[in-house]
Amino acid sequence: MDANDYYKASDLKSFRVKNSLRGRELSLDEIKSLIASCLEEETVIGLRDAAVISVLRGSGIRREELAELDKKEVDLEKRPESLPESSLFL
């Protein structure tokens, strides 16, 4: 890029892209209700969904991070001391 092109480019107005979060934070009662609803199904899918909700709630990871998680990366034996075993199902 020569000096003339640089000055033309630097003369352009900058703009901001609004990158806001979508949705809202669920209350603890709403999360408990979702998990109970999943477990009422008494199916593998219901159990899976309850586990997904529990992991999202308990760990704070995002949906995309959970979706990209590999089984080899999960160590159920290694848990922070601040995270009690019962917190997975509230």
pLDDT along the chain (90 residues), means of 10: 76 69 83 93 91 86 82 68 48
Total tally of structural domains belonging to the chain: 1
The answer to whether 56 touches 63, Cβ cutoff 8 Å, is: yes
The reported pTM is 0.56
Q: Is residue 42 part of a domain?
A: yes
Q: Is residue 78 part of a domain?
A: no
Q: Is residue 14 part of a domain?
A: no
Q: Is residue 52 part of a domain?
A: yes
Q: Is residue 6 part of a domain?
A: no
Tokens of 2: 């020569």
Q: Is residue 4 part of a domain?
A: no
Q: Is residue 48 part of a domain?
A: yes
Rounding to the nearest 10 degrees, give the CA dihedral for residues 46, 49, 51, 52: 170
The answer to whether 31 touches 90, Cβ cutoff 8 Å, is: yes
Q: What pLDDT does residue 10 have? A: 75
Q: What pLDDT does residue 46 have? A: 93
Q: Is residue 79 part of a domain?
A: no
